Amino acid sequence: MTNTGAPKKNLLTRTQGMGAAALALGAGVLLSRVMGLVRDKIIAYYFGTSAEADIYFAAFTVPDFLNYLMAGGYFSVTLVPLLSAAFAEDEADARRFFSAAVCWAALCIAVLTVAAWAAAPLIVPLAAPGFGLEAQARLVFFLRIILPAQACFLPGACFTALLYCRRQFAVPALTPLVYNGCIILFGVLGRYCFPERGMEGFCWGVTAGAFSGALCLPVLAVRTGGAVFAPCLLHPRMKQVFFLALPLMLGQSIVALDEQLVRVFGSLAGEGGVSLLSYARRIMQVPVGVVAQAAGVASYPFLAALAAGGERDRFAATLHSAVGNALLVALPLTLWMQSAAGPIMRLIFRQGNFSTQAALDSGVLLSILLIGVPFWTVQQIAGRAFYAHRDTLTPALVGTSSALAALPLYVFGARHLGASGVAAAGVAGVALYTLGICLRLRGKLGISVAGAEGRKAAAALLCSLPAGLCALGTQRGAAYLTDAPDSLLCAALQTGVSAAAFALVYVLLARRFAPFLYLPLAGFAGRARDKLGGR
């Protein structure tokens, strides 16, 4: 990398503080989830819970596993503290280090991708043991289309890490929008131009979206910010990268494997099992992405800087603030979504080939999966406390242990309870991981996730429980107000009245018993009213 001058302050290179970063990433993730819902809505409309949809969702099992095997999901997290330290010491040397990291990432993932492409017929029976021979052959075809996307994700994560170090969060927020947009575009075009080819167009969209969104967009942002990439393989700091990444590569965390395990064991739940679980999990991931993931990503550069500076008290305060604030949003949102899970699934997916029964079944699965959202929220932030201290071994050991402990639950759940058992096993697995990571955080770093912010989260939960019960009763009663209780109009009515009932009860309880929850809401409402009045 060679510097080409001071970065120009535009959309791609503008820096943000932690609060603004969380909002930017949260907005980006929300828009991405909306586009993801549009994508899945299209898939559900045309293919429902058919065998073709099962095959499409199962096709991501092997590529995602390769990504996690290369620590792709955490590669930018691994690089951030190393890049921060390198740029603080010697900028020119740091640019050479970054170039070496990109080259090694691209080389390793390319080799694995080619190997997996060649061995696809041997891998597929392990990835989808419940599929028949014809479905497995179709899965091989889909898999070979999607696999090249992995060669874009890992190098792209390196460029994203550099953007995080610069505290530039606009492009990481835009990346999933481009990715999902390509899947939608290619999928719809394929459906109308080549309907006999099934979901093949969606597969090509995955690879196109990975190339344009996950790779080209971060590269463009880095170049716009005043840097040019120069290939390089040798740098002494690469030993630190391998040292930090190796535990993540060898230790497969339950939070990384959960989606893959859902697909593998969902294939044993009969036709439609993989699709139903995928649709429900996609909705569950909306609060996880908008709240937990955004808070974790936004807080991480600040945690890494505080850890590097040895500011333990400020580090603990920042961690407590991030966890507490995320839970204050995640808990009410989760409880409301549980109260309206059935109508939400019906409103989003009930059209075309997605039947009323499929909406009902997926609503049950969503209710189960939502139990895990608070655990996802805590682990997204608490795990990064270790990464900020350049400790990837502890999260890897805890994650691998929890994955091994959860495996019997997946097997039992798939065999005896079907898709619901698989969903429950996923919740148990992430709960085990979160408990383990919090215990190690306290034992190794002497930091408790609880405290004043934890008490605020507990108050939010106590206010949310009765609000959720009121919302549940309201949405069920709303079904009697229409002549067609299975219609989209009824689903929209149930969703809307349940949200209004939840908000009303929550605000009243917070105002009476927890003013520290109510006052920020009142202040936000007041500022919004003033702005609207000013217009």
Q: Does 253 have pLDDT greater than 80?
A: no
Q: Does 37 have pLDDT greater than 60?
A: yes
Task: Provide the 8-state DSSP code for 7.
Answer: P
Instruction: State the Cα–Cα distance between residues 368 and 341, nearest whole angstrom.
Output: 10
Give the number of C-alpha atoms closer than 13 A to the C-alpha of residue 370, restricted to the C-beta side.
26
Predicted pLDDT of residue 13: 47
Per-residue pLDDT, averaged over 474-483, amounts to: 84
Report the percent of the chain where pLDDT is more than 70: 84
Strand, helix or coil at 3? Answer: strand
Q: At 11, is the pLDDT very low, low, confident or very high (cuts 50, 70, 90)? A: very low
Predicted pLDDT of residue 102: 82
Predicted pLDDT of residue 22: 56
Cβ atoms 150, 67 nearer than 8 A: yes
Predicted pLDDT of residue 400: 83
Q: Does 371 have pLDDT greater than 90?
A: yes
Cβ atoms 12, 171 nearer than 8 A: yes
Q: Does 357 have pLDDT greater than 50?
A: yes
Q: Does 369 have pLDDT greater than 60?
A: yes
Strand, helix or coil at 228? Answer: strand
Q: Does 12 have pLDDT greater than 50?
A: no
Q: Calculate the average pLDDT of the chain.
A: 82
Instruction: State the Cα–Cα distance between residues 130 and 317, nearest whole angstrom.
Output: 48
Helix boundaries (H) for 340-418:
341-349, 356-370, 373-388, 393-416
What's phi and psi for 227, nearest 5 deg?
A: -140, 150
Per-residue pLDDT, averaged over 111-136, amounts to: 91
Residue 142 CB partners (closer than 8 Å, separation 6+): 55, 56, 59, 199, 200, 203
Instruction: State the Cα–Cα distance between residues 98 and 75, nearest whole angstrom.
Output: 12
Strand, helix or coil at 2? Answer: strand
Q: Does 167 have pLDDT greater than 80?
A: no
CA 533 centroid distance within chain: 37
Instruction: State the Cα–Cα distance between residues 235 and 232, nearest whole angstrom.
Output: 8
Residue 324 CB partners (closer than 8 Å, separation 6+): 451, 452, 453, 454, 456, 457
Predicted pLDDT of residue 184: 93
Predicted pLDDT of residue 307: 86
pLDDT in tens, 172-231: 778 888 898 999 999 999 989 998 888 999 999 999 999 998 888 888 887 776 665 667
Of 61-65, 116-120, 204-208, 507-511, where does mean pLDDT reach its minimum? 61-65
Most confident stretch, 76-90, 148-162, 289-303: 148-162
Identify which of 366, 185, 345, 349 has the alpha carbon closest to the alpha carbon of residue 262. 366
Predicted pLDDT of residue 2: 39
Per-residue pLDDT, averaged over 53-78, amounts to: 76
Cβ atoms 198, 229 nearer than 8 A: no
Instruction: State the Cα–Cα distance between residues 363 and 344, nearest whole angstrom.
Output: 8
Pairing, β 2-3 against β 227-228: antiparallel
Q: Does 114 have pLDDT greater than 60?
A: yes
Q: At 20, is the pLDDT very low, low, confident or very high (cuts 50, 70, 90)? A: low
Domain limits, the chain: 1-249, 251-448
Identify which of 123, 76, 126 has the alpha carbon closest to the alpha carbon of residue 102. 76
Predicted pLDDT of residue 157: 82
Q: Does 71 have pLDDT greater than 80?
A: no
Burial call 274-307: b when 16+ CB within 10 Å, e when fewer: bbbbbbbbbbbbbbbbbbbbbbbbbbbbbbbbbb
Q: Does 468 have pLDDT greater than 80?
A: yes
Higher pLDDT, 73 or 419: 419
Instruction: State the Cα–Cα distance between residues 275 and 273, nearest whole angstrom.
Output: 5
Q: Does 432 have pLDDT greater than 60?
A: yes
Predicted pLDDT of residue 335: 94
Cβ atoms 418, 270 nearer than 8 A: yes
Q: At 452, is the pLDDT very low, low, confident or very high (cuts 50, 70, 90)? A: low
Query: Quick one: three-class SS letters along 59-116?
Result: CCHHHHHHHHHCCHHHHHHHHHHHHHHHHHHCHHHHHHHHHHHHHHHHHHHHHHHHHH
Residue 228: beta bridge partners? 2
Higher pLDDT, 84 or 355: 355
Burial call 401-431: b when 16+ CB within 10 Å, e when fewer: bbbeebbebbbebbeeebbbbbbbbbbbbbb
Burial zone of 30 (CB within 10 Å; 0-12 exposed, 13-18 middle, 19+ buried): middle
Q: At 8, is the pLDDT very low, low, confident or very high (cuts 50, 70, 90)? A: very low
Q: Does 531 have pLDDT greater than 50?
A: yes
Higher pLDDT, 248 or 485: 485
Q: Does 25 have pLDDT greater than 80?
A: no
Instruction: State the Cα–Cα distance between residues 366 and 387, nearest whole angstrom.
Output: 31
> Residues for the chain: how many in total?
535
Instruction: State the Cα–Cα distance between residues 136 and 127, nearest whole angstrom.
Output: 9
pLDDT in tens, 455-465: 778 888 999 99
Predicted pLDDT of residue 240: 72
- pTM of the predicted structure, to 2 decimals: 0.77
Identify which of 394, 347, 97, 90 has the alpha carbon closest to the alpha carbon of residue 253. 394
Radius of gyration of the chain from Cα atoms? 23
Cβ atoms 434, 375 nearer than 8 A: yes
Q: Give the DSSP H or E segment for 149.
A: none
Cβ atoms 281, 262 nearer than 8 A: yes
Per-residue pLDDT, averaged over 328-349, amounts to: 92
Q: Which residue is it, tokens 């990715």?
A: 179
Predicted pLDDT of residue 279: 92
Of 287-296, 430-439, 520-529, where does mean pLDDT reach its minimum? 520-529
Question: Tokens at residue 380, please?
Answer: 């997204």
Predicted pLDDT of residue 342: 92
Q: Does 10 have pLDDT greater than 60?
A: no
Residue 227: beta bridge partners? 3
Predicted pLDDT of residue 96: 82
Instruction: State the Cα–Cα distance between residues 491 and 95, nearest whole angstrom.
Output: 54
Q: Does 530 have pLDDT greater than 70?
A: no
